[in-house]
Structure 1
Amino acid sequence: YATAPWIAPTADVTCFTMMERACGLAGFQPRIVAESMDFSVQLELVAAGVGVALVPALTIAQLPDGVDLLSLDSPLVRSVHLAARTPDVVDPGIRALTRILTEAAAERLPLRPLAT
């Protein structure tokens, strides 16, 4: 994908850094032709033939027709954390938020068949 046009998130977010890192590990710098912070828009642009994109698995609600997901040779991993002050950890709202985030991630991240 070194010669492919790339659809990227905006440069001020960590997803952009992750994309640059993945491309760097593969030995190239992406040629960015479009930017969007909306990953569903990125996938639609891929479907339209504008370019390729690196999108977090957690962001994929529906895959457009004609778009394949491919695994990276050198996978990138990131963690999402919920931080709370120690006295607030027992707060029902914090507990509910933790449960909701955990359940949402579990629903979106189970083993998903990827094209190879």
Structure 2
Amino acid sequence: MANAKYGRHLPAFILLFLTKGSTYGSALLNQMEAEIPYNFSDGPAVYRALNELEKEKAVISQWDTSAKGAAKKFYTITGKGMQLLCEFKTDMEQRKKNMEFFLNEFEKTK
């Protein structure tokens, strides 16, 4: 995922939201836009990340053709996706500590 053209942690947010249940891409994007305080992702970025996660077997997909209209591709997190989510959590915890250090040190400059 290192070469992806979106935010470093977009896949982490996608996996986190998929722990709430299987969903399709546009519903996932809408949910992220509604719930993430500073969401910088867009539709193409979310779909690129979903494709990469699927290649890594962190998510699986299934087409739903039961409703009228266009078929929808539903995504579900896998066991490997849960492991990856835990790795993202560790990474974010470390980054959070560095950010807190920065903010504390910055306040001392005033």
Higher relative contact order (CA 8 A, sep 6+): 2
Same fold, TM-score > 0.5, yes or no: no
TM-score normalised by the shorter chain: which range applies?
under 0.3
* Structure with greater proportional helix content: 2
What TM-score, normalized by structure 1, do the two folds share? 0.24
